Structure 1
Amino acid sequence: MDLLAKAAELIAVPSTADRPEQLARALDLVLEFVGPGFTVERFASRGKPSALVRTPGPRPVFRILLNAHLDVVPAGVYEARRDGDRLYGRGAQDMKVAALVMADVFRELAETLPYPLGLQLVTDEEVGGYDGTAHQLAAGVSADFVVIGEQSGLRVVTESKGLCQVRLHATGVSAHAAYPWLGDNALVTLAGAVQALLRRYPVPAAEKWATTVNVARIETANTAYNQVPADATAWLDIRFPPEDTDFNGRTPHEIVAYLRSVTGVAAEVDSLGPPHHADPDGADVARLREAARCAGFTGELLRKHGAADARFYYARGVDTVIFGPGGDGQHGPDEYADLTTVEPYRKALASFLTAVAAGPAVRRASGAG
């Protein structure tokens, strides 16, 4: 109940990217929940605060690092509402409840484990993670194995898609709308370019491990009905699996050239992150799967379509998994955390950390879920 009360308080914090004071407030709430007796290293980059919590002494290479983000995407209302076994509210599933569970397990076990355990709290995952997890890694934070508490229903995510956020730019010639043949409508050109890309990557009718393109925004500087637009820009969010070599392993310059060849218009890469992969047969993955099974869940492996901060660790050769409680509706008005999974999630995390201490003897996991 203490955790749920704190979750309601944390969900009420509108910790969006454009509210730096609220990001700091969310971070302080979780640090207060962890309590005294630990070393807290604070970081900041471009207005985004983060923290690394550990036992006192020089910063080690952490045997296990628990990673949680406290920022959320914007919502109309920021408040928690419980309905039976569901806790509704922005960030309930993604991922404020999981962050508090991680903080709770950390404060209980960090001082008792025979290896260094860290708790990494960041506030910019929803806008790329470059000023939180990536910033801390650049500052020397390191680990052998990382668990990110994003929602997974106690399944173990060993693979997730890469992320490429781009803008397509079309130019034309302005003219009076009554005489469109005297101009060149940039919006029409852009619409054709977007359709060409969607023909290459059609929206799947159902879940599919394939590259997807989301058209997030189309804009023009034109403000008049009776004028042919001379410029237009489309914002695209592209998610790609490791198998798509048109994106995976490519530089921004190469992706720009590829998109121009498909669309016929100029492109600009705003953000690029690789897919993430962890060894599904690794000993720590096996321990975590066994811990999930002991908590009453299948412990199956899962691939996620969304990108996460795991990609920053993957780029440094650190095995990282996503492992979190259940829920649904992330980024939507009906987002909720499944409270029936919270205590099993807590038990599984604690059991996993204890099993790591027991050494290499572990039953190997077999097969992907």
Structure 2
Amino acid sequence: MDLDEFLTLADGLLRIPSTADRPAELAKALEHVLAVVGPGVTTERFESGGKPSALVYRGARRPEFRVLLNAHLDVVPGTPEQFEPRREGSRLYARGAQDMKLSALVLALVFRDVPTSFPLGLQLVTDEEVGGRDGTGHQLDQGVAARFAVIGEHSALRLVTESKGLVDARVDATGLAAHSAYPWLGDNALVRLLRAVDALLDAYPVPTSEQWRTTVNVARVETSNAALNQVPADASAWLDIRFPAEDADFAGRDADEVARHLSALCGLPVEVGACEPPHRADPDGPDVLALRAAARAQGYSGDLLRKHGAADSRYFHQRGVDAVIFGVGGDGQHGPDEHADLDTVLPYYRALRDYLRSLPDA
């Protein structure tokens, strides 16, 4: 891979503000990467929930893929300046540089450059930052199948083989409106809600350092009450919960069971929306071992990691497919100083290339 060619391609992709609220820019980013792959391949296009995605492979008919390379091209919102890439030494600053447009380009170039005797696929999606259900999830629902998946989220050539599950929940409180000068005549729903939230945080305290356990983030609290001199009659809190596979209160339970568990803890009705399981890949599986060996051959540790956040790997795990996160290095994910480490780009390309070449013919 030529680094100058890569940087030119990266500059064009990073300048596309492909956020969830800009469907035209999502499509533009997708076309940019498809153009990198070039002709002579089959491209299947998908769309769900207004989010386009594509599946690229060689041959006329879609196979079960021995390896599927997965990349998302959407990014979280940023300032206009963040969509103007700038390089400082080995750092390339831009929204999406680390998460994960540079890795996406490498995956596309590996697919383009490395012939394989087994079915290899490239899966490009545009909705990972908003849940992934209309991209990776939708394609798998449509019958896309694989034996192993490599997801190019940033990892500095380490392998994420385990990530937490997630729950989106809402706690609702009702009360009785009254004049705030006479609070004994009412029932303050907001106070009831805050007590319920405190009970949840007592059960799942906010950690002060990194810990592999269940966490609860209170993302938003609302009430329809707009008057300072009125006792609120309703209030709601939205929760983002992340849990490891070891937490039996969440793992293996459906949305209704989780809702009952949370309601018992806080004493108020709880509605659960998303309830996604944790992800885990066999750390001793042949693909994991081969990919670790390829990373080590490039001078990197190939260490196994756990990821507190959820990723599209969970959709593969739900279908019994081992998936790992393996990408370039960098820092500042979703922040004002997001950047990729350009020193990891060529080793990342070579590690993926050598990993694919090491696999036996299928």
| TM norm structure 2 | 0.96
Please tell me whether residue 107 in structure 1 is matched to residue 96 in structure 2: no
The residue number in structure 1 matching 2:224 is: 221
- Between the aligned partners of 1:199 and 1:344, the Cα distance in structure 2 is 45
The residue correspondences of 1:63-142 to structure 2 (distance < 5 A) are 63-77=66-80, 78-109=83-114, 112-142=115-145
Cα shift at 1:269: 1.2
Residue in 2 that maps onto 1:61:
64
Asked if 1:298 corresponds to 2:294, the answer is no
Quote the sequence identity (%): 63
What CA deviation, in whole Å up to 9, does each residue of 1:161-199 have, x standing for no partner?
101111111111112222222222222111111111111
Q: Contact 1:173–1:186 (CA<8 Å) still a contact in 2?
A: yes
In structure 2, what residue type is equivalent to 1:238?
A: I
Deviation, structure 1 residue 6: 2.0
Number of residue-to-residue matches in the alignment: 357
Which of 203, 207, 211 does residue 206 from structure 2 map onto?
203
Q: Could you report, residue by residue, the CA deviation over 1:6-31 in whole angstroms, capped at 9, with x for unpaired residues?
A: 22222222212222121111111111
Contact 1:165 1:238 in 2 (8 A): yes
The code of the aligned residue for 2:89 comes to G
Q: Which residue matches 1:366?
A: none
- The alignment partner of 1:188 has SS state of helix
Calculate the aligned-residue CA RMSD, in Å: 1.2
Q: Which residue does 1:271 correspond to in 2?
A: 274
1:235-274 alignment, distance < 5 Å: 235-274=238-277
Residue ranges of structure 1 left out of the alignment (5+ in a row): 360-369
Question: In the alignment, is residue 312 of structure 1 matched against residue 315 of structure 2?
Answer: yes
Q: Say whether 1:180 aligns with 2:188.
A: no
Q: Deviations over 1:311-352 (max 9, x none)?
A: 111111111111111111111111111111111111111111
What per-residue deviation string (whole Å, max 9, x for no partner) do you get for residues 187-219 of structure 1? 211111111111111111111111111111111
Deviation at 1:281, TM superposition (A): 0.5
CA distance in 1, matches of 2:310, 2:164: 6
Contact 1:113 1:357 in 2 (8 A): no
The question of whether the paired residues in 1 share the 8 Å contact of 2:98 and 2:331 is answered with: yes
SS across alignment from 2:359: helix
| Unpaired runs of at least 5, structure 2 | none
- Superposed displacement of residue 358, structure 1: 6.2
User: Contact conserved, 2:85 with 2:94, CA < 8 A, in 1?
Assistant: yes
Matches of 1:124 and 1:215 in 2, distance apart? Answer: 23
Counterpart of 1:100, as a letter, is L
Take 1:170 and 1:345, find their aligned partners in 2: how far apart are those partners? Answer: 50
State yes or no: 1:47 paired with 2:65.
no
119-128 vs 8-17, which moves further: 8-17
How far 1:74 moved relative to its partner? 1.6
- Comparing 280-289 with 229-238, greater Cα deviation is found at 229-238
1:7 and 2:10 matched: yes
Output one character per residue of 1:67-88: Cα deviation in whole Å (capped at 9) or x when no partner: 0011111222333222111111
C-alpha distance in 1 between matches for 2:277 and 2:224: 33
TM-score, normalising length from structure 1? 0.94
2:311 corresponds to 1:346: no
The correspondence of residues 147-158 of structure 1 with structure 2, limited to 5 A, is 147-158=150-161
- Is residue 172–residue 230 contact of structure 1 (8 Å, CA) maintained in 2? yes
Q: Which amino acid is 1:293 matched to?
A: R
User: SS in structure 2 opposite 1:176?
Assistant: coil
Q: 2: distance between equivalents of 1:99 and 1:188?
A: 47
> Which digits, 9 at most, give the CA deviation of each residue in 1:26-56, with x for residues without a partner?
1111111211111110000010110001113
Q: Which amino acid aligns with 2:248?
A: T
**Match of 1:88, as an amino acid?**
Y
- Is residue 215–residue 235 contact of structure 1 (8 Å, CA) maintained in 2? yes
